[in-house]
Amino acid sequence: MGIEYFNLLADEGWIELPVDQSAPTYLWHGGGLLADAPVDMEQTFKGNMWWSTKVDPSFNINGLRCAPGFAVPRHHHNLDELIIVFGGEFHVAWGEDGEEGSRTVGPGEFWISKAGTPYLMTAGPEGVTYAETWPEPMENLETYWHDAGWIHRDH
């Protein structure tokens, strides 16, 4: 297989982010699966986030794009995560229990989220294009979702 080159900032190769609220690796911070939480993952992400079909996830990396002003709901992972911004920017607010912080991350900058650190990412006025990666295979990744940034289900 040859080397493939692509521009992550180009408009080709993007699809709406596939969401599966019943995924066994999506957990609700208060306990249990995200599927049992009072939030609607499909409505929250619909039209707001895209996934690059050009980036091979077998390398433990995803290419992602968010619509302007979209807030990825507050969450944390069981693994450290590296996020690299290619275009646009996002504002990251992280922490809890007196250990809060925030910053804006722009093109060419990166941010490392330590395992267990909850954070909320909000895309800037032009949106954001970025890559996220983990030190272990994605099959080992667990995401714990918190109650901030969601569209809630009607019951």
Three-state secondary structure of 105-152: ECCCCEEEECCCCCEEEEEEEEEEEEEEECCCCHHHCCEEECCCCCCE
Does some domain include residue 41? no
pLDDT digits (tens, 9 = 90+) for 30-86: 889 999 999 999 999 999 999 999 988 788 899 999 999 999 999 999 999 999 999
- Nearest residue to 10 via CA among 58, 77, 55, 68: 55
Overall domain count for the chain: 1
Does some domain include residue 24? no
Does some domain include residue 34? no
Does some domain include residue 141? yes
Does some domain include residue 133? yes
Band (pLDDT 50/70/90 cuts) for residue 97 is: low
Q: Is the pLDDT of residue 155 over 60?
A: no
The answer to which of 8-12, 17-21, 89-93, 114-118 has the lowest mean pLDDT is: 8-12
- Domain range for 130 is 47-145
Band (pLDDT 50/70/90 cuts) for residue 90 is: very high
Does some domain include residue 18? no
pLDDT digits (tens, 9 = 90+) for 99-144: 789 999 999 999 999 999 999 999 999 999 999 999 999 889 999 9
Domain containing residue 126: CATH number: 2.60.120.10
* 21 vs 95, more confident: 21
**Is 0.75 surpassed by the pTM of this model?**
yes
Pairing between strand 81-94 and 49-52?
unpaired
Band (pLDDT 50/70/90 cuts) for residue 98 is: low
Does some domain include residue 22? no
* 4 vs 86, more confident: 86
